[in-house]
């Protein structure tokens, strides 16, 4: 077990092969397109995934993430482009000859076979000696802690147990790549969190490459080495969970992952070490601590995470009334979430800003409450400038 | 008509409206009444007739229960009809032949019906309804007329023979009518929809992801069929086979119209006993034994099946 720690960003512990130009990827997807009629389910996707990665395809429903996974498994044939694994082009290779295995969202367990028979199914297809099949099935069931339920039929298992059988059935084949289609979607919240850690542990223990499809950004952030965010058939950003969260490259990614405040602005000044953005529709200037690669007076969006903002009743230290990175408003809503509170501040222009405040002190009365006039401020590193 | 009750603390709780007891009894009793009038009573009448003695009278059998001269109740059970069934080889041969023909017809229906049901279940959903309609379409014409139509097709100067002769493939007509072949053909043709429909229902429910999972685990398509599709369609195979086999055993019209004098089936024997020999008691005994021969194995299968289910649960 991970000892109950929050695996916030696994990339740190991982050798980050995507940054090394000498590494060859395990899976190479080149200009892949899949159309159904005139609908582009996957639209010109190129993607490299490296050995030992836990790669998440993240997006809303209908964004093409499952189609991309099914293209890798061979259940769909690409309209254009190609997929190769370990240097072997998979064009025309039927699903049963591919070195990948898929865990289905519905689990797709064979209802007429016991747990052990389900897990043994893939090994029987390889024609292995029965003694080897038996020991490998036993190992796989032990790994997912189901060794005592080997004789049960799928309908006699709980949802969580079925999920483990489905996992064991794939793992036992020792595929080069394991594809997981929404593996946790059918579990309840608590079980889902536990299973996240277990999946990560199993993946690290076996050193396998996992490609997972999910619509749940928390899940993707917690488990992945890298995340590919998809929208309308395209991959809009690829990066470590940390990169996609802190350095989104588009309004879509910024808005899709976590919550964020976005302001329209015009680039007023750009130097190598800082930039100034004049707010549009809001009496505010944004001071950014790095340069922006855009022409002066370009329209931009400044995005700021709620937890990077500070809330105070008085002018914060080091600020004057006309400092940049400062807004005035009144508290409209407070959502107390235990570990933190979310404040919704309504500005003079009428727009809302979300600020999250960690509840570091134990208190029964909030120092800032409804209808209080407040200042919202943020440091120069907080703003992300998006040039669309 | 919602019943409501007042809770101690004044909350009025409404219960969903329920049928009054008598109305419920009425609804439940309809199927029982149906079974009583159209199955139990006729069955008992046939049982009674099978135990009586034939006589030239109206009705053509002696009463089973009579008030004797001295007002004593006089019951005469005649088991000779059943004894006859065992003694005369005709009946045994007819039973066995019926079962043989029904069995092989069922196999032929299964062999033809399975691929058809599979193809319909896998077809584009837009086509599926149309294809199913085609399967059901023959029912719009009377069964009897359809069997008669086969006479026109199979007889010596019928469609097939005329075609073959005009193409010069044969110069003497093939004898097809009044053969076992014609009986198999007729039964297969008539009962095929009863095989296809339950098979379709089972195969349509089959989850596509199971087939994908099998392929994903390295199973080639033909083996996926044998290890996944076929075992999971067993309920459809059993239902379809019973729907074909049971009526085929007692079939009368098809062997009478298409079969030859050698095609002895129990349905025809039954007919002969009733209408040619006017021996109602023997005919009733034949009918009863046939019913038992069919019902007992089915009950056995059902019992084994439910025991299997109970063991798994």
Q: What is the pLDDT along chain B (313 residues), one digit of tens a residue?
A: 444 445 555 555 566 666 788 888 888 899 999 999 999 999 999 999 998 888 877 788 887 777 777 777 777 778 888 888 888 888 999 999 999 999 999 999 999 999 999 999 999 999 999 999 999 999 899 999 999 999 999 998 889 999 999 998 888 888 889 999 999 999 999 999 999 999 999 999 999 999 999 999 999 999 999 999 999 999 999 999 999 999 999 899 999 999 888 888 998 889 888 888 888 899 999 999 988 888 888 888 888 888 877 776 6
Enumerate the CATH 3.40.50.300 domain ranges in chain A, comma separated.
10-99+175-253
Chain B contact set for A109 (CB, 8 A):
213
Question: Looking at the DSSP assignment, which residues form a beta bridge with residue A229?
Answer: A58, A237
Specify the DSSP class assigned to residue A301: E
Write the residue in B216, B227, B312 that is nearest to A95 by C-beta.
B216
Contact assignment for A95 to B212 by CB distance below 8 Å: yes
Class of domain A259-311+324-386 as given by CATH: mainly beta
Q: What is the CATH number of the domain that holds B246?
A: 1.10.3720.10
pLDDT at position B80, please?
A: 86
CA–CA separation, A348 and A350 (whole Å): 5
In terms of residue numbers, what domain contains B177?
88-278
Contact A96 B218 (CB under 8 A): yes
Q: How high is the pLDDT of residue B313?
A: 61
Q: How far is B175 from chain A (nearest CA, A)?
A: 48
- A-chain CB neighbours of B223 within 8 Å are 125
Residue written as token pair 């120092």: A367
Cα gap B302→B289, rounded to integer Å = 20
B215–chain A nearest CA distance, Å: 5
- B209 to A73: CB separation less than 8 angstroms, yes or no: no
pTM score above 0.90: no
Whether B170 contacts B163, CB under 8 Å: no
A126, closest residue in chain B (CA to CA): B218
B213, B219, B232: residue with CB nearest A104 = B213
Distance (Å) from the C-alpha of residue B198 to the closest C-alpha of chain A?
19
Backbone angles phi, psi at A100, to 5 degrees: -125, 160
Residue B26 burial (CB count, 10 A): 12
What's the CATH number for A10-99+175-253? 3.40.50.300
- Residues of chain A under the 50 pLDDT cut: 1-8, 11
What pLDDT does B150 receive?
A: 94
SS3 category, A54: strand
Q: Output the pLDDT for position A2.
A: 37
Q: How far is A87 from chain B (nearest CA, A)?
A: 20
Q: How far is Cα A182 from Cα A175, in angstroms, rounded to an integer?
A: 19
Q: Is B79 a member of any domain?
A: no
Torsion of Cα atoms, A303 then A308 then A314 then A320, to 10°:
-60
CB A210 within 8 A of CB A101: no
- Give long-range contacts, CB 8 A cutoff, 24+ apart: B221-230: B221/A96, B223/A125, B227/A121, B228/A110, B229/B118, B229/B203
CA pair distance B2, B8, nearest whole angstrom: 19
Structural domain count, chain B: 1
Whose CA is closest to B154, among B134, B180, B135, B136? B180
Radius of gyration of chain A (CA): 25
Whether A254 contacts A303, CB under 8 Å: yes
Inter-chain residue contact B218 with A173, CB threshold 8 Å: yes
Q: In sequence order, which residues have a C-beta less than 8 Å from that of residue B104 and are 6 or more positions away?
A: B184
| Residues A82 and A91 sit within 8 Å (Cβ to Cβ) | yes
Taking CA–CA distances from A106, the nearest residue in chain B reads B209
Contact A14, A52 (CB under 8 A): yes
Residues B108, B188 contacting (CB under 8 angstroms) = yes
Sign of the C-alpha dihedral computed for residues A275, A279, A283 and A286 taken in this order: negative
Q: How far apart are CA A46 and CA B309, in angstroms?
A: 51
ipTM exceeds 0.90 = no
Cβ contact A110–B223 (<8 Å):
no
CB contact under 8 A, B232 and A75: no
d(CA A137, CA A151): 12
Helices (H) and strands (E) in chain A, counts: 8, 20
Q: Which residues of A touch B215 (CB under 8 A)?
A: 74-75, 94-96
Where along chain A do the CATH 2.40.50.140 domains lie? 259-311+324-386
Q: How far, in Å, are A36, B151, B186, B254, B256 from residue B144 at the CA level?
A: 49, 11, 11, 9, 11
How many residues are present in chain A?
388
State the Cα–Cα distance between residues B216 and B211, nearest whole angstrom.
8
User: pLDDT tens-digit profile of A283-336?
Assistant: 899 999 888 888 888 899 999 999 999 999 999 988 998 899 999 999 999 998
Q: How far is CA B77 from the centre of its chain?
A: 32
Distance CA B54, CA B50 (A): 9
The sign one gets for the Cα dihedral B19, B24, B30, B35 is positive
Cβ neighbours of residue A39 closer than 8 Å, sequence gap 6 or more? none
Is B287 among the domain residues?
A: no
| CA gap A254, A258 in Å, rounded | 8
Say if the Cβ atoms of B212 and A122 lie within 8 Å.
no
Peptide bond into B43 cis (omega under 30): no
Query: B212, A104: Cβ pair inside 8 Å?
Result: yes
Distance to chain B for A372, nearest Cα, Å? 43
DSSP state of B16: P
Helix axis angle for B180-205 and B89-122, nearest 10°, is 40
């Amino acid at each position: 077990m991970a000892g109950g720690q929050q695996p916030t960003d696994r990339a740190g512990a991982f050798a980050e092969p995507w940054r090394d130009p000498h590494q060859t990827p395990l899976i190479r997807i080149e200009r892949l397109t899949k159309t159904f009629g005139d609908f582009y389910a996957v639209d010109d996707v190129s993607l490299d995934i490296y050995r030992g990665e836990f790669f998440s395809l993240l997006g809303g429903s209908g964004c093409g993430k499952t189609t991309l996974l099914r293209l890798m498994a061979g259940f769909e044939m690409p309209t254009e482009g190609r997929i190769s694994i370990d240097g072997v082009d998979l064009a025309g290779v039927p699903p049963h000859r591919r070195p990948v295995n898929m865990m289905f969202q519905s689990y797709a367990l064979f209802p007429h076979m016991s747990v052990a028979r389900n897990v043994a199914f893939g090994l029987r297809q390889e024609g292995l000696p029965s003694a080897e099949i038996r020991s490998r099935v036993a190992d796989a069931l032990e790994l997912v802690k189901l060794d005592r339920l080997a004789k049960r039929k799928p309908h006699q298992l709980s949802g969580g147990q079925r999920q483990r059988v489905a996992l064991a059935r794939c793992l036992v084949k020792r595929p080069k790549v394991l594809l997981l289609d929404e593996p946790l979607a059918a579990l309840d919240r608590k079980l889902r969190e536990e299973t996240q850690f277990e999946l990560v542990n199993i993946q690290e223990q076996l050193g396998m490459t996992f490609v997972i499809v999910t619509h749940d950004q928390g899940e993707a952030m917690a488990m992945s080495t890298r995340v590919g965010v998809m929208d309308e058939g395209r991959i809009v950003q690829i990066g470590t969970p940390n990169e996609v969260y802190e350095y989104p490259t588009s309004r879509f990614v910024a808005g899709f992952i976590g919550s964020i405040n976005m302001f329209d602005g015009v680039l007023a000044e750009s130097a190598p070490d800082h930039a100034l953005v004049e707010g549009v529709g809001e009496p505010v200037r944004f001071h950014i601590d790095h340069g922006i690669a855009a022409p002066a007076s370009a329209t931009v969006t400044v995005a700021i995470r709620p937890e990077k903002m500070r809330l105070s009743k008085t002018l914060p230290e080091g600020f004057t009334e006309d400092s940049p990175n400062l807004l005035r408003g009144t508290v409209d809503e407070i959502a107390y979430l235990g570990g933190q509170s979310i404040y919704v501040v309504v500005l003079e222009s009428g727009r809302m800003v979300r600020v999250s405040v960690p509840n570091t002190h134990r208190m029964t009365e909030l120092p800032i409450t409804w209808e209080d006039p407040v200042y919202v401020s943020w440091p120069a590193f907080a703003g992300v400038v998006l040039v669309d | 008509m919602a019943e409501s009750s007042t809770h101690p603390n004044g909350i009025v709780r409404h219960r969903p409206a329920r049928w009054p007891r008598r109305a419920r009894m009425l609804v439940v009793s309809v199927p029982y009444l149906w079974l009583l009038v159209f199955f139990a009573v006729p069955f008992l009448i046939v049982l009674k007739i099978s135990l009586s003695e034939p006589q030239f009278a109206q009705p053509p059998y002696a009463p089973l229960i009579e008030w004797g001269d001295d007002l004593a109740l006089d019951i005469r059970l005649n088991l000779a009809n059943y004894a006859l069934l065992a003694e005369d080889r005709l009946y045994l041969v007819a039973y066995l032949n019926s079962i043989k023909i029904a069995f092989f017809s069922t196999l032929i229906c299964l062999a033809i019906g399975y691929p058809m049901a599979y193809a319909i279940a896998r077809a584009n959903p837009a086509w599926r309804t149309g294809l199913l309609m085609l399967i059901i379409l023959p029912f719009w014409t009377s069964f009897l007329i359809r069997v008669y139509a086969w006479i026109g097709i199979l007889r010596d100067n019928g469609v097939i023979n005329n075609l073959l002769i005009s193409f010069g493939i044969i110069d003497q007509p093939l004898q097809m009518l009044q053969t076992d072949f014609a009986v198999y053909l007729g039964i297969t043709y008539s009962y095929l929809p009863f095989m296809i429909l339950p098979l379709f229902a089972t195969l349509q429910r089959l989850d596509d992801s199971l087939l994908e999972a099998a392929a994903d685990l390295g199973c080639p398509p033909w083996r996926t069929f044998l290890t996944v599709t076929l075992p999971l369609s067993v309920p459809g195979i059993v239902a379809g086979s019973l729907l074909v086999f049971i009526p085929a055993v007692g079939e009368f019209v098809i062997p009478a119209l298409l079969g030859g004098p050698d095609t002895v089936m129990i349905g025809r024997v039954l007919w002969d006993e009733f209408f040619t020999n006017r021996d109602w008691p023997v005919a009733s005994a034949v009918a009863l034994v046939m019913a038992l021969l069919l019902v007992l194995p089915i009950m056995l299968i059902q019992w084994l099946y439910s025991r299997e289910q109970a063991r798994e649960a």
